[in-house]
Structure 1
Amino acid sequence: MARHDPQARRAAIVQAAADLIVEVGPGRLTHRLVARRAQVPLGSTTAYFASLDELRQEGLGLLANEVDDGLAEIRREFESDETDGVDGVAAFEGLVDSLHEYVSLRRNVVADVALAATATFDDRARELALSWTDGLVAVLGEYIGVDNALAVAMITDGAGVHAAIRGEPLGRDQLRRALAPFVQTSGDPR
């Protein structure tokens, strides 16, 4: 990071806050930890952010953007399957693969749980936390209906909590069986 690049320094601080939220949790975030991780003077964290709460919100916002990137990938999968004439079975398997990959990455599930936990008590974080569920329902609702998409989102939320607590995701076959009742496909092997 350039020594006199305020935007790069601010970005490094926010990235450090996001990384630490995933590693130690939002409640244990401190200016000192963030400064050490970002390799900036301690005063920089307070110069760029009026409070630790503001810094935490920025870190959570960055994590929410990562969640949105995952949703964009799921949307691209469904849109490409639709334009390529892929049948419902292949689209369902693509969904299972995408969701399994998502819950297999510890950063993803810990970020989701941190967002949800913070949103439980902080209205400002609620919108960020809802971006995953609302986004997934919006993406899948077009293909499987809103009620089924909501069920898939709730199962995925549960799979994320499971992976975060246990340190390992559900197996791909377990996830497929959990989702199958909510995703109707032509030629469904169930």
Structure 2
Amino acid sequence: MDADATSSGATPGSPGSPGTPAAPATARSRRFDPDRRARIIDAALDVIAEVGVAGVSHRKVAARADVPLGSMTYHFDDMDQLLRVSFEKFADTIATRYEQWFRQATNADEARAAVVGLIHADLLDSQRELVLTTELYTLAARKPEFRTLTCDWMARSRRALRPFFDEPTTHLLDALIEGLFIHAALDTTPPERARTAEAVRRITSG
């Protein structure tokens, strides 16, 4: 046996011994990967935005997240759970931004302006979010168990409007926002800001 190996306490073929290649950095880092679950969720949303819920698979999401395929079933019981958790994150992100638009408003006029800004300067600015929103709506229409996500999302939206408008008006405004979202996803011509402002004025004038 080599004297140096004997003196160092290393044995041939053991990790760190002469002649034994070190494990690749990527392999070592993947053993400790605390962000893996969150990365899978983000990857799932990216895949949904590209191919729709119907085209999502564990293999596609794992490849996008750069994780072993076995990680999918380790972190999520099935595809429905992955979809639910992913859309929960998406809905929370949009609802939080929604709420921020109205935190700066101090009266009804400023809230009306915030509605228009929310629609045209925020929600309609991202094709990815338009697609994800319509995918969630379609999923909830097909599977009633996903409607808790859309109901919670709408409830948060109406709570943000409630300091400025009465209950029936908040429902109408929320429906306007959601409706324009769908129209933007389906129409080749984006809605005009002036028409949106007029619609908001009419809904809130009473």
1:65 matched to 2:65 = no
Greater RCO (CA < 8 Å, at least 6 residues apart): 1
Aligned amino acid, residue 93 of structure 1: A
1:153: how far off?
0.9
TM-score norm. by structure 2 comes to 0.77
Q: Aligned ranges for residues 37-186 of structure 1 at < 5 Å?
A: 37-76=64-103, 80-82=104-106, 88-100=108-120, 101-166=122-187, 169-184=190-205
Alignment size in residue pairs: 178
Structure 1 Cα separation of the partners of residues 109 and 82 of structure 2: 44
Distance 1:121 1:153, change over 3 A: same
Q: Is the 8 A contact 2:111 2:164 kept in 1?
A: no
In the aligned structure 1, how far is the partner of 2:154 from the partner of 2:188? 22
AA in 2 matched with 1:81: A
CA offsets 1:39-84 (integer angstroms, 9 cap, x no match): 11222112221212221212111211222222221232xxx331xx
Find 1:13's aligned residue among 21, 27, 40: 40
Q: What SS class does the counterpart of residue 67 from structure 2 fall into? A: coil
Q: Which moved more, 1:88-97 or 1:114-123?
A: 88-97
The answer (yes or no) to whether the contact 2:43–2:64 under 8 Å persists in 1 is yes
Is 1:22 matched up with 2:46? Answer: no
TM-aligned CA deviation for residue 168 of structure 1: 5.9
Q: Between 110-119 and 165-174, report the one with greater CA deviation.
A: 165-174
Structure 2: runs of 5+ lacking an equivalent: 1-25
Deviation at 1:96, TM superposition (A): 0.8
- CA displacement 1:11-49 (0-9 Å, x = unmatched): 111111122222221121101110111011222112221
AA partner of residue 94 (structure 1) = A
Stretches of structure 1 lacking an aligned partner (at least 5 in a row): 186-190
Q: Deviations over 1:78-127 (max 9, x none)?
A: xx331xxxx54343222211222212322332222112111112233111
Contact 2:102 2:114 in 1 (8 A): no
Structure label with greater radius of gyration: 2
Does the 8 Å CA contact 1:144/1:184 hold for their aligned counterparts?
no
Structural RMSD (CA): 2.2
* Distance of 2:113 and 2:132 partners within structure 1: 25
Q: Single out whichever of 174-183 and 34-43 deviates more from structure 2.
A: 174-183
Residue aligned with 2:77, SS: coil
